[in-house]
Structure formats: C-alpha cells, structure tokens
Structure 1
Amino acid sequence: MRPTFRLHALAACLALAFSAHAADKATTIPAKAVAAATALRDRAMKDDTGYEFVTGLTTEVGPRLAGSPGDARGVAWTVSKFKAMGFDKVYTEKVSYPLWERRSEHAEIVSPFPQPLALTALGYSAGTPKGGLAAQVVGFDDLDALKKADPATVKGKIVYVSTHMHRQKDGHDYRDGSATRTAGAVIAAKMGAAAYLLRSAGTDPHSRTPHTGVTGFQDPKEAIPAAALSLPDADQLERILKEGKPVTVKLDLDVGVVGTYEGSNVIAEVTGAKHPDQVVAIGGHLDSWDLGTGAIDDGAGVAIAAAAAKLIKDMPQRPDRSIRVIAFANEEMGLWGGRAYAEAHAGEVSRFQLGTESDFGAGRIWRMSASVKPSARGAIEQIAKVIEPIGVAYDATKPGGGGSDLSQMHAKGMAALSLTQDGTDYFDYHHNANDTLDKIDPKALAQNVAVYATFAYMAAQADGDFGSAPDAFKNDGAHD
C-alpha cells in the first residue's frame, strides 16, 4: 500500500471511530432542565386544566362513536379548544375507515325460562334478519374450548363463550377478555354459527351494563351478529345452560357497516425554539363508544396530553424541541387513526424524540418503562427521579410500547415510554354506559398531567436523542 493510500485509510478509520463515539455518546438532561421540570411537576399537580378539558368534552359533546355526529362535533370542539389554549399550530389529518352504526338491540331467552337479556352489539357485528334471529345456544367455558370444538356442534347455533376477568392494577386479564371478543366472533363465524355472544370483557359483576368493543371481522360479508351480555345476564344464561335443557335465545340487532367515513386526527403543537422539526409526541384518542360519554376512554387521555403541553407552552422559555399533541381518530374500531398517522409519518420517525399515549383511564400513574437506545437509559433514569416523588416507579426490565395508537409509530422505530395507570377499577366502566365524568378523580388526573408534562419537557431539553430510527425497536417485544 502506498503512503497516500495509508493516510487516506487512517483518516477513514479515524472518521469512523469518531462517528461511532458520537453515536454512543450518552444522552443526558441538563441540570437546569431538571430543575425547571421539577417546578413544572409541582405546578401541574395543582393545575385543573386537564379536568376542565375533559369536563368540557364530555359535557358539550358527549359520546363520540367513530363516524357519528358526535364524532364530528368532537373534532370541531377539539380544534376550537386547541386554538383557545394558544397552541402554535392546530391542524387535522384525514383518516378513512368503515362506518359502522348501532341503531337498536334487543335479546331474550325464549326457552326454557323466558326472560329479557341485557346486552349490547359489538363493533362490526352484522345485523340480524328483520324480525330477529332465534336459535339454540351452545356454551363454552373459554376461547380455547371454542377453538377445540367440532364445527358440527356449532353450525346454525348461537355460540356463547364465558371468559372471566378479575380486577388488577395493570389490567392484564383484558388480554383474554379482548381476545374472546375479537377472535371468538371470527372463529364462531368460520364454524358456521348463526350468531355470537360473550360474557362482557369487564369486572363489574353486580351491574347490568354490558361492555361493547370491536370484533375482528375484516369483511362485512363474513360477519355474523355478535353481542356482549352484562355479567349478571351472563351468569343467568350460564345457570340455565347448566340445567341441561335446550336453551333458545332470540337476538334482534339493527346494526352494521353502511359505507366509508372520512374522519380526522386533530393535532396541536408547541413549536420548539432550537429544533422545531424534532418532536415529543403525546396524545390520546378522541373517539369513544356510544354507551357512555367517553370520559375515561379516552377523553381523559386527550385532556392529559393537552394540559401537559399547555403547561409547557406557558413556561417562561419555549422548549428546545416541539411538543406535539395528537387526538387520534377511531382507535376503538381498530387503531385507524394511529395506523394512518404512522403510515403518513413513517419517513420522519428519526425526528421523533420520544413518545407515548394515555389510554387506560384516569387513575394515577404508578409505573414507567421505556424502549430507548442503551446510551439514553441515563436520561430515562433522570426523568424517573423527578417523577418518583409523585408515585411513579421506573421498571427498567419492561419495554415501553407508546400506548395504543402511538404503538404504531413505535413499531416504525419511535423511542417510546409506557406510563401505566392504576386500572384496578378501569374495567368496571370500560366500554359501557358508566364511562362518565364522575369516574374521574381530579387530583389523580392532575398527577397524570404532571407526569406527562415532566417527561415531555425533559425529553425536549435533552442533550442527545433516545434512539428513534427506522425499525429501531422491532425486537423489543413492546408491540407483540
């Protein structure tokens, strides 16, 4: 090798070494930003902006079923509210999805012991024929039992599946309850069932308030009537089935997909002073089911993010990076807003500093976990120390999924947190008529706002990034 080539090779090696060293440089949060975040945390704990927001949304708009007039009013209300809060940018991005409508629902046991049943149709359920549908019920203890059933025992019958959920702080039983609702209906349809019933995915055993939710039907032509019984009505049906006599139920569901709807994600921003194109993303989903007023699911989430961003906006100096609040469209029927957002912004994933969404009610946040690059763990620990005094523990063993809709950006490579709320009683009210404002404790909501404001500001002020890059976290297990 000639000397000139050696020099060029040495220079190239040094450049690569310097680049690798720069890439591995630890992300840290300056002491000045930590002090400002601590003061911001304390101010947020006493602030009622979040509660005022969710009060207005649930009172002036109410339920916001995707594609309904309430949904359209919710979008208009949120655009107006974001502007009134003084955000630098307020805009919408279109989201298209199937329009499913609920018009009426009724059910009764015809024999052997005639009586009405409290139930609600599930999202993407087909309607029954005019005049209703009556058929014998075949019951299964859980989803696995249905999967193992002989299709001949199911064909032409109403399938009923009972999956029991229990109250837990992290709500992990919902994995089974949700699967029974989404997958169970599809499995029953493929087996030739006439209709599908399940024990509601809920934890309120003494309330005749059924819990709705989406099914896994992708094609309306393959859907069958599907509905959830309230827990006392599920208990009643199970007792009657145990009598050993044929049980006939009549369903009359006037529901179904009626076309396509164009909704909107609503977005507001606080523009960063130094790096305006880099964003900390926070949010919730604006749509709700139609049975309650969408207070805990997920008016609270939008309120938490909006209030956190406003508190940052009102600080004496602007954050270095932009804070972006996203009120997602139609999460309930299949993450339509989150998926549309991720597809539209996938090419910008490296600009996302850190993100997460609130979509588990309004109970106090008690745990933080994170999916970030290794050299940013120290910055996460700095954030953890500031929010620890208000009841949040950092679990370094768990990944951070980003919440429901922002899980889609995390899957593209966005660094993400999970901020886990206390969901002990969340599934008492989830997707049912009791999802109303009175279930929100203003002080607990303020603690959520404090956590979101603190982490968002600290992430915005960090020296360095948290590792967002295309496919950066595809193996972390947070979105399995």
Structure 2
Amino acid sequence: MKRFTNAIFSTGIISCLVFATSVSALDEKMHAQLDELKSAAIHSNLSYDIIESLTTEVGPRMVGTPAEKKSVEWAVAKMKSLGFDKVWTEESQAPDWQRGELKVSLLAPFNHNLVALSLGNSVGTDTAPIEAQIAHFRDLDALKAADAQTLKGKIAYVAFAMERRKDGSGYGEAVGARVSGAAVAAEKGAVAFVMRSVGTDSHRFAHTGVMRYKDDSKQIPALALSNPDADLLENALKRNQPVTMGITSTASGTLKETVTIANVIGEFTGSEQPDQVVTLGAHLDSWDVGTGAIDDGIGVGITLAAVNHISTMAQRPKRTIRVILFAAEEIGLLGAKDYVARHKNNMDNHIIGAEWDFGNGTIYKLAPGMGENALVEIRKFAEYLAPMGVEMASTNNAKGQSDMSLLGEAGQPAVNFYPDGSDYFDYHHTENDTLDKVNQEALKINTAIYTTFAWYAANSGVDFRK
C-alpha cells in the first residue's frame, strides 16, 4: 500500500510539473517549445536507460583499464544511435596507476580485519608489510601542526568526519586530507597515512579518490577506512594503549608509463549559427569500485538524453549543442585540460556550458556566471523553472562543475545547477555506487531541466558574455 501511495504521489508531482503555468517573460513560441521538451523528458525513461546500458555493458571505467577503453567505444555508438550529427574522439595521455591488493588489520591491543581502499596514486608497501603504531589527529590542520619528525616510524591517522549537507559543501572541508595528507605525514616521518573515508554513510564501504605526493618528499602508502572501521579504530584508541596497525598493499604508485584516454564529443548541429556552441558536460571515467552509476553515469544519461529529446523537435536549434564526455576527471581533470588546450583558439564560440557531476536528488537552484546584460535574460528562463522548484541564486560567479570549470576559466559563460546532494556522498567513490541507487523520479526532472536549458541557450540569441 505504501508503495502504491508513493506511486500516486510521484505521478501527481510529475503532472503538476508538466502542466503548471509560469509567470514567465519568455515569448509564447519559446514557452511552448520548452513545455514540449519538458513533457517529453519527464515522461521518458531514456536517461535511466542510458545509465543502465553504461553500467551493465561497460561497468566501472577507471583510467587505464580495458573497461575505460570500452566505454569510449560505447559512447561513440550510443551518441550515433541517439541522433547526434557528428561524433568524434580526441585522444591524449594520462599516467597509469594500478590499485593492486590491500589488506589492513588492527594487530594490538585488539585484533580486527578492517575494510579500506588505497587512494588513487598511492604507492604500496614494497616487499614487506608495514606494522606500526597509530598516531591520531583530529584533522589535517592538526597533522600539519605536529612537530617535525614526531611521526617517525608511525602511521598517521586523520579522523575528520565529513558532514552531510544538501549542497555537498562538507566535501570541501574533508577532501583536503585525502589529497595532501600523505605528503604532510611523510614529511614528519610517518611510514603510512590512513584517514576516515570522505563520505557520509555508515556502511562498511571505503571511499577512494585521488591523492598527491610532493615531488621532493618520500612517498608512503595512503588509504581510507570505511566509516564503521574508523569508528572501531577510534574506539580502540580511547583505551589509552598503543594501537598497532598492519598494512599490506601492492598499489603501484604513479607508473612512468602512460595510457591513452579520449574525450568523446557529439554534436547536434545548429540551423542558423552552427559555429556557436552550447556545451553540456559529464565525465565518462569512474573509479574501479562500484559501477559508476551516480558518479558520473547520471551526467552521461542526462546529457545524452537531452540531445535526443531535442533531436525530435520539428525544428533544429539555431546554435549547435555539443555534449562532451570528458576523460580522466577522477585523476585530475586531464580530459578537460586537453580539451581547453585543443580548443583555446575558438573558445569565443563556446556560448555557455553546464555540467552534471554531483547529486542524486532534484535540482533546486540555478547559479549563473555571465555578463550583466545576460543576467536579465537568464532570469526569464529561471522564472520558467520556478514551478519545478528551482530558484535563481543571487551570485553571478559560476564557472561550471568539475571539467566544465576549466572551460569557464578559459572564458566560457556557465550555469551551475544545484541538485539535492544529501545522499550523494553515501555512494561516492565506493562499491555502493550502483544503478539501484539512482533516484529515477529526480532523474526525469533533472533531465527536463538540462534539456530545456540547452534548447533555451541555443535559441534565445543571448550573448551570455555581455
């Protein structure tokens, strides 16, 4: 009964979203076109079907793996099947890294096997396991404040717990330890670095993610504990006895060899101003844990479905709509860096862009980054979205999410859409990032928002730089 009631409630919401009227300043023709696209997206399962195809037929897509190469072939074929006029790849190189195997345990004063993951780019333990005492720090700042060489022969542990927030801002407060903690610990004599996972869940899944060493410092193994195992470690530390941990890892560190990566780019060509490009972005790669359904299968599904919905309209958009599926986002936005380098001489033709690389819930805010005159026009579109629960931010400094931020830094105007990310970091970079976690009703609404945005930007005639 509860499931049936929820289905009726969800259907009612969708009906309201489709047929609600908006006090919008858009002209009648544009309004009608947006309504047509919104209805099509909200009543379609296409974006979900694309994610299902990606996660089933390819799965996890870590740089340097056969599946990552297969994902490029999958994306090219999928774009062609969905009505893109032009599809191509742009190849570059990325450093290789291999996760290997990892075993972590508490050895004293209590014995427990622990669930952990090596952080991306981490070295292993060479030929012999590490067995050393834990030195406990509440956060990265406390680790930085430790006296030089006070960690000699010890394992540094940072206990900072990420906070759950709708906008995901807790991630920025926690991720610094993941990125630079091992380098700081090594400078102070530590033999390994361990941290509480950057995540908000209570499941026994560890969260991976990229880390960095300093060029001139020692490289030590770096890993993240699942949140329950971090709790267990901290409970052991409360006993005021030395706590010893054992680590065995065959992670490769950054190899001298490189691997080929590729951005996959597809276009639906504009009818009047084909050289002017509206960009939609997502990243095609993922970590090797889970199936990359949420990070960033959702982005792939939304952007490809948006173009397909637009391709069914009676007329073409005036400007070209380009989807960029970026390579190697997870290890440092490498595909985006290559894209900007290749296209720097025609960045003025990039009219505006938006990327999806965060969230699982419904979009609640639109944040612009454009010229002052264009703000007047984008408010008209924001008014159109208002009945869908979307408000316009008072700021005007958006650069684009993730990869798209590099295009923003290169001069492309941007819109950032903010979805509810309350549960995003329960799954982010874990074995639990799988298809069943995708919020299908929110996905339909978000697809409608991205589809209508792409159509509006391509047909409005607005110069978003002015």
Aligned AA (2:111): P
Structure 1: give runs of 5+ residues left out of the alignment.
1-27, 469-480
Which one is further off, 218-227 or 193-202? Answer: 218-227
Counterpart position of 1:163: 160
Q: CA deviation at 1:57?
A: 0.2
SS class of match (2:92): strand
SS class of match (1:264): strand
Counterpart position of 2:442: 444
SS class of match (1:327): strand
Going from structure 1 to structure 2, the CA distance change for 1:191 and 1:180 (only over 3 Å counts) comes to same
Going from structure 1 to structure 2, the CA distance change for 1:396 and 1:241 (only over 3 Å counts) comes to same
Which of 425, 428, 433 pairs up with 1:427?
425
Q: Is the 8 A contact 1:96 1:262 kept in 2?
A: yes
Aligned AA (2:221): P
SS class of match (2:100): strand
Aligned AA (1:294): G
Counterpart position of 1:17: none
Counterparts of 1:143 and 1:157 in 2: how far apart (Å)? 16
Counterparts of 2:216 and 2:246 in 1: how far apart (Å)? 22
RMSD of aligned alpha carbons: 1.5
Counterpart position of 1:365: 363
Q: CA deviation at 1:190?
A: 2.5
Counterparts of 1:178 and 1:412 in 2: how far apart (Å)? 25
Counterpart position of 1:379: 377
Q: Is 1:410 equivalent to 2:403 in the alignment?
A: no
Q: Is 1:235 equivalent to 2:231 in the alignment?
A: yes
Q: CA deviation at 1:42?
A: 2.0
Counterpart position of 2:284: 286
Counterpart position of 2:119: 122
Deviation by residue 1:368-402 (Cα, 9 ceiling, x = unmatched):
10000000012211111222222211112252231
Counterparts of 1:60 and 1:460 in 2: how far apart (Å)? 32
Deviation by residue 1:396-454 (Cα, 9 ceiling, x = unmatched):
22522311000000011110011011101111111101100001122211111101111
Q: CA deviation at 1:121?
A: 0.4
Q: Is 1:71 equivalent to 2:58 in the alignment?
A: no
Q: Is the 8 A contact 1:301 1:361 kept in 2?
A: no
Which of 29, 44, 49 pairs up with 2:41?
44
Counterparts of 2:403 and 2:281 in 1: how far apart (Å)? 9
Which one is further off, 238-247 or 144-153? Answer: 238-247
Counterpart position of 1:112: 109
Counterpart position of 1:217: 213
Q: Is 1:134 equivalent to 2:131 in the alignment?
A: yes
Residue correspondences, number: 440
Counterpart position of 2:345: 347
Give the TM-score of the pair, scaled to structure 1. 0.89
Q: Is the 8 A contact 1:38 1:386 kept in 2?
A: no
Q: CA deviation at 1:29?
A: 6.3
Counterparts of 1:361 and 1:90 in 2: how far apart (Å)? 27
Counterparts of 1:386 and 1:311 in 2: how far apart (Å)? 19
Q: CA deviation at 1:127?
A: 0.8
Which of 285, 297, 302 pairs up with 1:304?
302
Q: Is 1:99 equivalent to 2:96 in the alignment?
A: yes
Counterpart position of 2:334: 336
Q: CA deviation at 1:130?
A: 1.8
Which one is further off, 172-181 or 384-393? Answer: 384-393
Structure 2: give runs of 5+ residues left out of the alignment.
1-24
Counterparts of 1:394 and 1:119 in 2: how far apart (Å)? 40
Q: Is the 8 A contact 2:186 2:217 kept in 1?
A: no
Alignment identity in percent? 45
Q: CA deviation at 1:188?
A: 1.3
